[in-house]
Amino acid sequence: MDLIEELKREEGFSEVVYKDHLGFDTIGYGTKMPLSEAECELLLRSRLSVFIAEVDNKLGYLDIRQEAKDILYLMAYQMGLAGVMKFKMMIKALEIQDYYKASSEMLNSRWAKQTPNRANALAVKMRNA
């Protein structure tokens, strides 16, 4: 018996929190809320590995320092690959390894206005990559 498939079938899936038959907040395949820190770390690691693969698949041609790649991974975790791909001028700067210009382009964005602390911190790291 495939236990995972059996549980999926029995529990059903919900991407939003709902109340189970006992009134507990539940999500996914019958996972009661709140999640433990260990469960959240597993989820974080799983999601990050997906974003790393997506960034590498789409921007793997960039010949850039690892720290700059790591910044792209962090950005993708926050806004998804589609969000990162909107930074066309940043990507152009990275194509020529102009980390200072890439940093400036990161700050010239709605993202920087919405999450200034994170954007500024990553822009400084990009400038020094």
pLDDT digits (tens, 9 = 90+) for 91-129: 999 999 999 999 999 999 999 999 999 999 999 999 999
Domain around 94:
37-127
Task: Examine the domain organization and report whether 93 and 106 are in the same domain.
Answer: yes
What is the DSSP secondary-structure string of the chain?
A: --HHHHHHHHH--EEEEEE-TTS-EEEETTEESSPPHHHHHHHHHHHHHHHHHHHHHHHTT----HHHHHHHHHHHHHHHHHHHHT-HHHHHHHHTT-HHHHHHHHHSSHHHHHSHHHHHHHHHHHHT-
Task: Examine the domain organization and report whether 46 and 78 are in the same domain.
Answer: yes
* Average pLDDT value for residue range 7-28: 96
Structural domain tally of the chain? Answer: 2
Task: Examine the domain organization and report whether 105 and 76 are in the same domain.
Answer: yes
Query: pLDDT band at 1, cuts 50/70/90?
Result: confident
Average pLDDT value for the chain: 97
Task: Examine the domain organization and report whether 20 and 55 are in the same domain.
Answer: no
Q: What pLDDT was estimated at residue 118?
A: 98
Tell me the CATH number at 41.
1.10.530.40
